[in-house]
Structure 1
Amino acid sequence: MKLATYLYQHTTSCGIVTDDGIINIPTATDYALHSVKEILIKGKSAFERLKSLPDSDVPRLDFDQIRLCAPIPRPGKLLALAGNYARHLEETRWQDKSLDRQAQCTNPWPFLMPSTAAVGCGATIPWPGYSDEIDHEIELAVVIGKPAYAVSPQQAPGCIAGYTIANDLSARSVSFRQGRTDRPRDAFFDWLMGKWADAFLPLGPWLVTADEIPDPHNLDLTLTVNGQVRQQANTDQMTFDVYRIVSFLSHLMTLEPGDVICTGTPHGVGLAENRFLRPGDVIDCTIANIGTLSNTLGPKPDTFYRAFIQ
């Protein structure tokens, strides 16, 4: 089942995506379900009521009648992993090639992002005023369906509601003060702050429930910019697989329905070849069995506020 969040007649709603349109859940059933997150929280009982709708004759909305939002518009937690593909680490020189596989697999590198970074398919991404180098990163994103605390990798599949696509955009040249004297950890925090801009984590186009993706570790990923392939890989190349990621994070914090976990990007980012995005670029992220997430990068601001910290 594909679950979408969208704007219809100026109201945010949720629906089931079918080949011939979208079933608007609030009007198709008398069961009180008004958001994808609500569906996840109610769990099995909600899915039981919804599973027959795609085969019914309930009315559909045409795709041109709606505007897609992120499947979970404001996730309680937005988590992501850095460096979860070995070739990406090598191309960005984050890690020495001489490290053996065991050393690379010590533990994941997770970080948090603000919920305001989430935006839907079709949205134009505003260019942040503190960077002039913007980069792309296609990622498989996991959506949590049940509370998870200290679960094992074997238990993790039962906590996953489904999957969507993420484009973890990065501002690579973050600078807040001209002539700054760099401190030892400035580079790390510049990288981290480069992930936090509004609308810098497009998600979508919808959530595909886990039963339709029985093996998330064999999915082709392709990212194009204006039709040109920039990233192409398979999720079987992850250092830490989906279930180990969920397990690890659940030992750090309680994962809750609607939390989103981005599982890392493969090689091919612009940073590796000093080839960054430009205003007006169309970025298409495609993952097998899910769909295509498409967004356009907006214009650069007239002025950059590099010196706003005095």
Structure 2
Amino acid sequence: MPDSPTTRPPVHAGPFALGTFARDGRRFPGLVVGPRVRDLSDLAPAVRDLFDDWPGTLERLATLAGDPGGTWHELAELAVLAPIEPGQILQSGANYRRHVVDLVAAERESVHGATQEEARADAERMMDERARDGVPYIFLGSVRAMCGPYDQVILPAEGEQHDWELELALVIGRAGRHIPRAEAMSHVAAYTICNDITTRDRLYRPDLKAIGTDWFTAKNADTFLPTGPFLVPAAFVPDPSDLRITLRHNGAVRQDESTKDMIFDIATLVSYASATSTLRPGDLLLTGSPAGNGAHWGTFLRPGDVLDAEITGLGHQRNTCTADSQ
């Protein structure tokens, strides 16, 4: 069962937000206005459908937010689920400068024998070149890995190095292919929080060294993508390039970074992704995770651990880890 959000109100930017909720076994899309939620089942069967005509939907939601009519619930009485079931999940890797510099510098020191100063200087040069001449690194995630912002995270028996990666995510609100970077932000409808949990010691396949990484196994176990609590319209997030990403593991701050540290900004990610795959309303794009994951700290998730995560203006997640009971 999901934890109650009432222990810490999931405050968001703007006058309203969207989410998916459940009560008495019934799921429904909802409009969050302060401590109350309006059932939007009369408007659409699911949140994803609301993005098919996002400009029109946004106007309608603004009207409904001030209308006492319709079916309203107290947020504290509802189960808060993952806010959307996206058409596809696109994930950006190695997209925070300090995080990648730390990784490259550590490799330069341990493998090539460079001094700490030499290693970091070399890594900084590489990031300058990548930002100037390189392209993003994007891969696909599984919708089945998603869970709610207060759900338990189930740690599989396979692997031991279960790790966190808190990320800003965006929802596409307008379809497009080969989207110019200058137009990319007009395709972004809303923002949310994702924690891209990864089993590090299942990331590389010793039996298939020539192929390399196994993203499916390492990143897509059930409950490995806590998402939400809400979708906050992009109109209420004036500068997504200046949001604070903070994750606490058992109360200790592990990640605390600004989205300013992205190597490739949101517009570049959207444009690049659309060059390969047509982006459609309701698609979810994760923008990468900053420095401070468990591998950096030398600690990984264990049953009973608690993750508290937040991004400026987007609310708060709280997930407790449990062992797989199979």
Distance change in 2, residues 1:158/1:237 (3 Å): same
- Secondary structure of residue in 1 paired with 2:228: strand
Residue 256 of structure 1 aligns to which amino acid in structure 2?
R
Distance in 2 separating the partners of 1:145 and 1:114: 20
Distance in 1 separating the partners of 2:192 and 2:203: 32
Distance in 2 separating the partners of 1:296 and 1:57: 36
- Secondary structure of residue in 2 paired with 1:206: coil
Given candidates 211, 219, 226, the residue that maps to 1:185 is 211
Deviation at 1:69, TM superposition (A): 1.3
Structure 2 gap segments, 5+ residues each: 1-15, 109-119
Q: State the match for 2:270 in structure 1.
A: 246
- Aligned residues: percent identity? 32
Given candidates 168, 189, 205, the residue that maps to 2:196 is 168
Q: TM-score, normalised by structure 2?
A: 0.84
Q: TM-score, normalised by structure 1?
A: 0.88
Residue 180 of structure 2 aligns to which amino acid in structure 1?
S
Runs of 4+ in 1 over 6 A off after TM superposition: none
Report Cα offsets for 1:160-191 as digits up to 9, x if no partner: 111000100000112899xx5562334x22x5
Distance in 2 separating the partners of 1:182 and 1:53: 54
Q: State the match for 2:95 in structure 1.
A: 84
Distance in 2 separating the partners of 1:176 and 1:77: 24
Say if 1:85 and 1:237, in contact at 8 Å, map to a contact too. Answer: yes
Asked if residue 264 in structure 1 is aligned to residue 288 in structure 2, the reply is yes
Given candidates 14, 19, 29, the residue that maps to 2:34 is 19
Report Cα offsets for 1:135-183 as digits up to 9, x if no partner: 0011000111110211112111111111000100000112899xx5562
Say if 2:203 and 2:218, in contact at 8 Å, map to a contact too. Answer: no
Deviation at 1:48, TM superposition (A): 2.1
- Secondary structure of residue in 1 paired with 2:323: coil
Distance in 2 separating the partners of 1:275 and 1:214: 35
Distance in 2 separating the partners of 1:61 and 1:287: 25
Say if 1:117 and 1:198, in contact at 8 Å, map to a contact too. Answer: yes
Deviation at 1:17, TM superposition (A): 1.0
Distance in 1 separating the partners of 2:207 and 2:56: 57
Deviation at 1:103, TM superposition (A): 2.1
Aligned pairs, how many?
Answer: 293
Deviation at 1:9, TM superposition (A): 2.0
Q: State the match for 1:205 in structure 2.
A: 229
Residue 213 of structure 1 aligns to which amino acid in structure 2?
V
The structure with the largest helix share of the pair is: 2
- Secondary structure of residue in 2 paired with 1:14: strand
Say if 1:82 and 1:264, in contact at 8 Å, map to a contact too. Answer: yes
Distance in 2 separating the partners of 1:300 and 1:237: 35
Asked if residue 237 in structure 1 is aligned to residue 265 in structure 2, the reply is no
Residue 259 of structure 1 aligns to which amino acid in structure 2?
D
